[in-house]
A and B are shown apart, each in its own frame.
Chain A
Amino acid sequence: MSRGRVVAIVPAFNEEGALPGVINGIRSFDPTFDIVVVDDGSTDRTAAVARENGAAVVTLPYNLGIGGAVQTGFVYAYEGGYDVAVRLDGDGQHDPADLEALLGPIDADGADIVTGSRFADADCTYRPPLARRIGIVWFAKLVSALTRQRVTDTTSGFQALNRKGIALFARDYPSDYPEVEATVLVHKHGLRLVEVQVQMREREHGTSSITFVRSIYYVLKVTLALLVAMVRKYPTAAEERSGR
């Protein structure tokens, strides 16, 4: 089975502690994967640790936020001519062992983008704190209604993409809380999105970048962005080929 050249994109902001585990996990899953760590303006030894562990490193001159950092990885994958990209967060919450399930639909050409969902199976056991759960459920319901497709985990950043998916996200990727809006983007461009059940680990190091006060602002902003994304004009397929 050949899936072509694969790159693992690892966005990391001050994750020197968790990064070696993430990189070695990816390598033990498949040593042929290239690994690129996008260091989002970290103030600790994130970039040095990534290099010591043999990953390619792209260091952003200042903190762009998760959307800008991840998109840097997609541009890297696009310009590097990779056939498939997987994205795992640098904090270690995504288990590289789940990559097999994530890559399944890509290998079978049944999807352009595969998202690892914590809630795809009805009997899953993961229970995030209440405030986060409300946000997650709200976005899942809203996105499901807007895209007329059952989406259970719109905030998951655990993804696998084929060349079409890489090309889309390299050109156009939202900035704050990007995964939610990106789901609508995928739908609008007619790409195939599939969810597979994964486990997510508790954060190993660092703290979540989303605090309670900011979460209200994010819910408002992202809800607005979602509604706007539905009525926004997008380039046609022909324009897409000529661009970038």
Chain B
Amino acid sequence: MTPVPVSIAAAIASVLLLLVVLELIRGRRLKERYALLWLATGIVLLVLSVWRGGLHTLAGWLGVSTYPPAILFAVAILFVIIVLLHYSTVLSQLDDQNTLLAQRLALLEARVDAVREAEPE
């Protein structure tokens, strides 16, 4: 079974993560769109740390009989990978949009300059 101190520490860490994410949303420093994955991470980790029987069962299914908390690490890493992958897609989209914005701005400046030059003094 999972040592009790490990469960307590994991639960506290999960709750802290959830609180920080919620406070960031409240202060408008994090958009809900990007917060959902973090909230899901916090909730799943919290459930697995508190529900010790569930963690034990899950560990049994995966053949980890010696140290069930290893599953906590595995799940946490899995979620971190998902969040990172999600950010990579967001970053790629921002990259495209940034290029487009720079192009539109440069074309607009060229047009404004052309209009200015055509104007009589």
> Which A residues have a C-beta under 8 Å from some C-beta of B?
61-62, 175-176, 217, 220-221, 224-225, 228, 231-233
With both beta carbons as reference points, the residue of chain B lying nearest to A223 in the complex is identified as: B32
The answer to whether B26 and A224 have CB atoms under 8 Å apart is: no
Do the beta carbons of A231 and B36 come within 8 Å of each other? no
Q: Assess the A221–B100 pair: CB atoms within 8 A.
A: no
The answer, among A176, A217, A221, A232, for a CB contact under 8 Å with B28, is: A232
- Give the number of residue pairs across the A-B interface with Cβ within 8 Å: 30
Q: Are B97 and A221 in contact (CB under 8 A)?
A: no
What distance in Å separates the Cβ of B5 from its nearest Cβ neighbour in chain A? 32
Q: Is the pair B33, A176 in contact by a Cβ cutoff of 8 Å? A: yes
CB distance from B44 to the nearest CB of A (A): 15
State which of B25, B26, B36, B101 has its C-beta within 8 Å of the C-beta of A61. Answer: B101
**Taking the complex as formed, is B35 at the interface, i.e. its CB lies under 8 A from any CB of chain A?**
yes
Q: Quick one: given A61-B100, A62-B97, A62-B100, are A231 and B33 in contact (CB under 8 Å)?
A: no
What are 27 A-B pairs at a CB distance below 8 A?
A61-B97, A61-B100, A61-B101, A61-B104, A62-B97, A62-B100, A175-B31, A175-B33, A176-B33, A217-B36, A220-B36, A221-B32, A221-B33, A224-B25, A224-B32, A224-B35, A224-B36, A224-B39, A225-B32, A228-B25, A228-B26, A228-B32, A231-B26, A232-B26, A232-B28, A233-B26, A233-B27
Neighbouring B residues of A220 by C-beta, 8 Å: 36
> Which residues on the B side are within 8 Å of A228 (C-beta)?
22, 25-26, 32
CA distance A33 to B26 in the complex (A): 39
Looking across the interface, which residue of chain A has its beta carbon closest to that of B93?
A: A62
Q: Which of B14-55 contact A (CB under 8 A)?
A: 22, 25-28, 31-33, 35-36, 39
**Residue among A62, A231, A232, A233 with the highest chain B CB neighbour number at 10 A:** A62
Q: How far is the CB of B93 from chain A (nearest CB, A)?
A: 9
Q: A228-B26, A233-B27 are in contact. List 17 more A-B contacts (CB 8 A).
A: A61-B100, A61-B101, A61-B104, A62-B97, A62-B100, A175-B31, A175-B33, A176-B33, A220-B36, A221-B33, A221-B36, A224-B32, A224-B36, A224-B39, A225-B32, A228-B25, A231-B26
List the 3 closest A-B pairs by CB distance, nearest first. A61-B104, A225-B32, A61-B100
Determine how close the nearest CB of chain A comes to the CB of B89; give it in whole angstroms: 15
Q: Which residues in A have their C-beta under 8 angstroms from that of B100?
A: 61-62
